[in-house]
Amino acid sequence: MAENTHRVGPVVDFTRSPHAVLRPVPVNAVKLHDTFWEPRLRRNREITLPAQLRQCKETGRIDNFRRASGRKQAPFQGLFFNDSDVYKWAEAAAYSLATHPNPKLDADLDAVIAEIAAAQQSDGYLNTYYMFERAPERFTNLKDMHEIYCAGHLMQAAVAHHRATGKTTLLTVACRLADCLYAHFGPEGKHAACGHEEAEMALVELYREVHEPRYLELAQRMVEARGQKPPVLGGSPYHQDHLPFLEQQDFVGHAVRHLYLACGGADVYAETGDPAYRATLDALWTSLTQRKMYVTGGAGSRWEGEAFGADYELPNDRAYTETCAAIGSVMWNWRMLHLTGETKYADLMEHTLYNAVLPGLSLDGTHYFYQNPLSDRGKHRRQEWFGCACCPPNIARLLASLPGYFYSVAENSVYVHLYASGTATISLPSGGEVTLTQQTLYPGNGIVFITVERSTGDAQTLTLRIPRWAEGATIQNNWRHGAIVHAAAGGYVSVPMPQVGETVQLRLPMPVQQIESHPYVLVNQGRVALQRGPLIYCLEQADHADADVWNIHLRRYTDMTPDLVPDLLDGVTVLRGHGIAHDLTGWSGALYAPRTSKAKSEGRPVAITAIPYYAWANRESGPMQVWLPITG
Amino acid sequence: MAENTHRVGPVVDFTRSPHAVLRPVPVNAVKLHDTFWEPRLRRNREITLPAQLRQCKETGRIDNFRRASGRKQAPFQGLFFNDSDVYKWAEAAAYSLATHPNPKLDADLDAVIAEIAAAQQSDGYLNTYYMFERAPERFTNLKDMHEIYCAGHLMQAAVAHHRATGKTTLLTVACRLADCLYAHFGPEGKHAACGHEEAEMALVELYREVHEPRYLELAQRMVEARGQKPPVLGGSPYHQDHLPFLEQQDFVGHAVRHLYLACGGADVYAETGDPAYRATLDALWTSLTQRKMYVTGGAGSRWEGEAFGADYELPNDRAYTETCAAIGSVMWNWRMLHLTGETKYADLMEHTLYNAVLPGLSLDGTHYFYQNPLSDRGKHRRQEWFGCACCPPNIARLLASLPGYFYSVAENSVYVHLYASGTATISLPSGGEVTLTQQTLYPGNGIVFITVERSTGDAQTLTLRIPRWAEGATIQNNWRHGAIVHAAAGGYVSVPMPQVGETVQLRLPMPVQQIESHPYVLVNQGRVALQRGPLIYCLEQADHADADVWNIHLRRYTDMTPDLVPDLLDGVTVLRGHGIAHDLTGWSGALYAPRTSKAKSEGRPVAITAIPYYAWANRESGPMQVWLPITG
């Protein structure tokens, strides 16, 4: 596969969506060469993707396709939705090929696609679980068996593969499967949906890729199939079947599913512009961000049902905060950003990426968290793989496509959403094309230089995201010469596109902030979380030989000093300061005691070092916590 | 049925157990006429028991027995373990007949027993779910299907019925079923146990009742069947099958099950005296009381698996704290008390009874909590019944037998465990018999008068429990004339048995205490719970028109004043004082915000009224919480 022979597509193709106000750029438009993301993306390509393909092979996930195609006599292996992991891996591999062509990976992917294609049935049906003796049960239990969910992941992989390589090998399979779904669940079929949402957004993306309006129609039917009377999925909040989508006001039930439904709703809205969709999406966003979200951006408070909790129910030790839910939120906010052009979606997308997705992956790129607690005694450790392995390839596909999330365009303006050193060549709807270079140590430092390397045609403005936390941000056009202007936090600020060779300097102040929770989050009362720039911090035991980090209190007016430590945790900016360490004086094994009965521990000063939360559990195990008690 | 013709037995018959140091007294030895328990016990007899029998009938639970006996053509109704609810109701009815003979209830119980007996199979097998087409599956899935659990509840009902009435109608059924179990799982059968413990303690009790050593042998086999390699129950902590019982150090998995297993272990120990059992029981008690128990005495932190959590994992809003788990703890502590004579078990039994069992029942006696959260926004309300209705008849059987928990005896001493006005006629192992009257307003007031009404033979000492919270307790023998002596809190104190007509005055000081949690219970840091005497208190919205009780802080040195309010919640002693009400100034919908960004709410003084936690959710719904934040 040669580079440049094919015009690569974006992540979620709003290019022609009538109700999107921003347009994404091709995944390969951006070349990162920063110290934060580029090493992670390389690790994703070089270590994670091969390791995951090996896992898929060793756990029978590939064999299941061979079996389905009649090439292997063996029982079905693993969980009934294991096909989806192979599809997510294929999607990740495709995006990786888009940014970094690699003949070995290209061949590996072609081989996997051949396995997939061979397993497709003559009517387009494809699910390796429902083969042979189980074939009569196809589409008989949509609520529980994830058939359409798996189909959705196949479509997303196919779309990514086509966008990345121009090849139609997987796209053809996806279209045949989508046609099969349309025959069963289109206007001539049953009004139904899958218990696990995913196909909704996938069908809209497939529609965008092949311009087949039936796919959009089917996506909309599926979004709107929920919450009917009688219910098609049992009517439970777990399946988001308790209310019609257009009446939903709150995130409930299985967190990944509801976030994926929101993605599907946003995709349908981008094409149809139904204002009722927009109202629902807004209500859901309010539900998430004002009542049901962790300070990390993570979502899903309950282990039972991998579910959202009640309003303000945000336990730290038993936070479920599935990595996939965070990924769902990134995908959804990416969509909302393009529908609206509003900073708050990009802010949350970035915040969730750093603080709720990244913790799901070890620094070595081969171990994963499924759940992401915000406090722990040291028992929660990342695993190499899971029986239900949804998270690992989900992280891989997001990281592989990440360059596509940095910029968007609108008419003759370039929008900069994320900051990292790199070069981007961006075509504008107005016909212009501009090549920009970012130079920055972000997220460790808030100074960003953006230089225009090349510019043709009409590229009039550069629109910079000023994150909500960046109070006092400034922009200097024509660095060293131009005026320094203040930029309001929490907005996009447009400046004239610099001349070729000119540099814009953006300064995003990154003071250490003590974040408080709404008082109804009872577990966080009297506590603060530390945030600097886009990063949430935690205390981890490995940095505190002298005190249990569960017993360290912050002083109310503590100054914490950022300190870049290049050889710690792949290079992190830690926060250093002093706290008060309490010991367990007077407790001697008791669980409860009258306040007056115990020797009073005044505590002793102790040096504290906070690390970015995403980096926890990469050293020896021990207590960790994000929310720190505040003293006097 | 005439009173006095049959000598009624105790609750758990340690009368001849070689390794018990205390002996229980007959359930009918105690006649309560106090204002706290007696009205509850009457409501239990007059309202709860008839309502529960009606529920058992209306939900098909009785029909299931008719169906099994071939007298009714109908499908099995409800959950596969629904027989156990009928058995628990029968046990409750039996204890009620022991203390309050009632021809109508006696006839109702006889009728239910006839239904049960008719459903028994020729080989002694009895489980209405495994009939007809399911008969071949009997005992094929002990892990999940609760067959032996149901059998255990039948045995406990039969033992109670025999102890209460002397009738053998149900006892015969129970023995035939126990013989059937012995044939399958005794030395000639499979080494196995039930996924849900219960039969262990039941078999020991049946052994005590009919002196059949095979039943004790089978109980011990079942206790020791867990944790084997290969496992008999799948090897999971959920089923307490992860370790052999004698290697268990921690409460894990399903809370009710593990507590019932501890009961079974204690019962086996009482008969065998194996010191390894005692060591395990001690370790488990430490696990519960030092790391895994709510301040109410409730147990079970997780909704998923109705399970114990990790050490110090004690969420308040999502506390599971199943009412049945609290009942299991009461039953277990009652056993441990007799094995040891140690106050701490009686203290915890009483504490759990008031603060973790009683909240499970509405004041009107007809609505139940399955879960008992310690903070709530007003959505958690008691229900009339449940599909899985384990808790309602479990409360009923405990309340019906409660008079049996007030006293025990040891040689020539009467032990007083619980305090409430009433009369008890107690026979001593030494041959003496003494009639005592308690007069007290306990738990609202800590002054208790105990008068000896009659005494024959050798009754040398009166042994009074001084609860751990009762610092500064005093005892005055020969009230008004004798010396006032101090009694150490947290112990049993023996005084010479008063002469007939003489009164002992016990004074248990009941200051309002602010209880703190071990610092590792992160959710309670900076908070206190209010306790007075044996009662844990909470703030409920109904008493606080001016402020949301989730936003009320206590001052560190607040004085709370007890105030008996006879017409509130069936008569409660409330605690009155002042706190600081914060409002939501500066939050305006935000979930997180930097500390410095918000208008500072200094709070305003507000009158607060705390009610006993057991009485919550009996008025209009609204926020409630037990753990109150402490300010400055």
For A555-602, what is each residue's pLDDT tens digit? 887 789 999 999 999 999 999 999 999 888 888 889 999 987 776 678
Chain B touched by A585 (CB under 8 Å): no
Rounded CA separation A455/B592 (Å): 41
For residue B301, which of B521, B81, B149 has the smallest C-alpha distance? B521
- For every residue of A130-152, DSSP letters joined together read S-GGGGGGTTS-TTTS-HHHHHH
Terminal C-alpha separation, chain A = 64
**In the annotation, is A150 catalytic?**
no
Q: How far is CA B359 from the centre of its chain?
A: 11
Rounded CA separation B568/B97 (Å): 31
Rounded CA separation A95/A624 (Å): 35
DSSP state of A265: H
DSSP state of B519: T
Average pLDDT, chain B: 96
Could you list the active site residues of B? 306, 390
CB A566: neighbour CB atoms within 10 A? Answer: 10
Which residue in A555, A592, A597, A601 has the most chain B C-beta atoms within 10 A of its own C-beta, making it the best mutation to test that interface?
A592
- Tokens for A126, please give them: 């494809």
- A91, A115, A205, A306: the catalytic one is A306
SS3 A632: coil
Residue of chain A with shortest Cα separation from B513: A594
Select the highest-mean-pLDDT range: A31-35, A592-596, B2-6, B479-483: A31-35
Residue-level pLDDT at B459: 84
Does A2 score more than 50 pLDDT?
A: no
| Contact indicator for B540, B516 with CB cutoff of 8 Å | no
Percent of chain A at pLDDT above 90? 92
Average pLDDT, chain A: 96
Which residue in B525, B560, B613, B624 has the most chain A C-beta atoms within 10 A of its own C-beta, making it the best mutation to test that interface?
B525
Mutual orientation of helices A213-225 and A255-272 as an angle, nearest 10°?
130
Count of CA atoms in the C-beta half-sphere (13 A) of A104: 5
Residue of chain A with shortest Cα separation from B530: A594
- Tokens for B487, please give them: 């009694």
Looking at chain B from residue 299 to 318, which residues have their Cβ under 8 Å from any Cβ of chain A? Answer: 302-304, 309-311, 313, 315-318
Closest Cβ opposite residue B590 in set A518, A550, A627: A518
How large is the average pLDDT for residues A177-194? 97
Chain B residues near residue A596 by CB distance under 8 angstroms? 513-514
- Tokens for B68, please give them: 């099994």
For residue A630, which of A574, A584, A562, A577 has the smallest C-alpha distance? A577
How large is the average pLDDT for residues B41-67? 97
Residue-level pLDDT at B585: 81
Cα-trace Rg, chain B:
25
Chain B residues near residue A592 by CB distance under 8 angstroms? 295, 515-518, 529
Residue contacts between A and B (CB atoms, under 8 Å) = 138
CB A482: neighbour CB atoms within 10 A? Answer: 16
Rounded CA separation A442/A535 (Å): 10
Residue-level pLDDT at A559: 87
| Contact indicator for B581, B552 with CB cutoff of 8 Å | yes
Chain B residues near residue A302 by CB distance under 8 angstroms? 303-304, 318
Residue-level pLDDT at A586: 83
Chain A touched by B592 (CB under 8 Å): yes
Residue of chain A with shortest Cα separation from B552: A519
SS3 B256: helix
Residue-level pLDDT at B1: 41
Confidence of residue A146 (pLDDT cuts 50, 70, 90): very high
Tell me the shortest Cα–Cα distance from B289 to chain A, in angstroms: 7
- Among A171-175, A187-191, A456-460, B201-205, whose mean pLDDT is lowest? A456-460
Rounded CA separation B594/A530 (Å): 9
Residue-level pLDDT at B632: 66
| Contact indicator for B552, B606 with CB cutoff of 8 Å | yes
Residue-level pLDDT at A584: 86
For residue A101, which of B50, A513, A109 has the smallest C-alpha distance? A109
Contacts 24+ apart (CB under 8 A), A290-294: A290/B589, A290/B590, A290/B591, A291/A250, A291/B591, A292/A250, A292/A251, A293/B591, A294/A319, A294/A321, A294/A356, A294/A374
- C-alpha distances (whole Å) from B557 to each of A527, B298, B462, B528 are 22, 28, 39, 12
Tell me the shortest Cα–Cα distance from B509 to chain A, in angstroms: 14
Tell me the shortest Cα–Cα distance from B511 to chain A, in angstroms: 11
Which residue in A291, A348, A351, A522 has the most chain B C-beta atoms within 10 A of its own C-beta, making it the best mutation to test that interface?
A522
Show Cβ contacts of residue B230 under 8 Å, excluding neighbours closer than 6 positions. Answer: none
Closest Cβ opposite residue B514 in set A295, A309, A594: A594
How large is the average pLDDT for residues B17-41? 97
- Tokens for B380, please give them: 């958690």
Residue-level pLDDT at A632: 66
Residue-level pLDDT at B458: 84
Tell me whether residues B315 and A310 touch, CB distance under 8 A.
Answer: no
Does A470 score more than 70 pLDDT?
A: yes
Rounded CA separation A586/B374 (Å): 25
**In the annotation, is A306 catalytic?**
yes
B430-447 per-position pLDDT tens digit = 888 999 999 999 999 999
Closest Cβ opposite residue A550 in set B519, B528, B629: B519
Confidence of residue B2 (pLDDT cuts 50, 70, 90): very low
> What ipTM goes with this model?
0.93
- Tokens for A392, please give them: 């690992």
- Among A185-189, B383-387, B541-545, whose mean pLDDT is lowest? B383-387
A481-534 per-position pLDDT tens digit = 999 999 999 999 999 999 999 999 999 999 999 999 999 999 999 999 999 999
Residue of chain A with shortest Cα separation from B532: A594
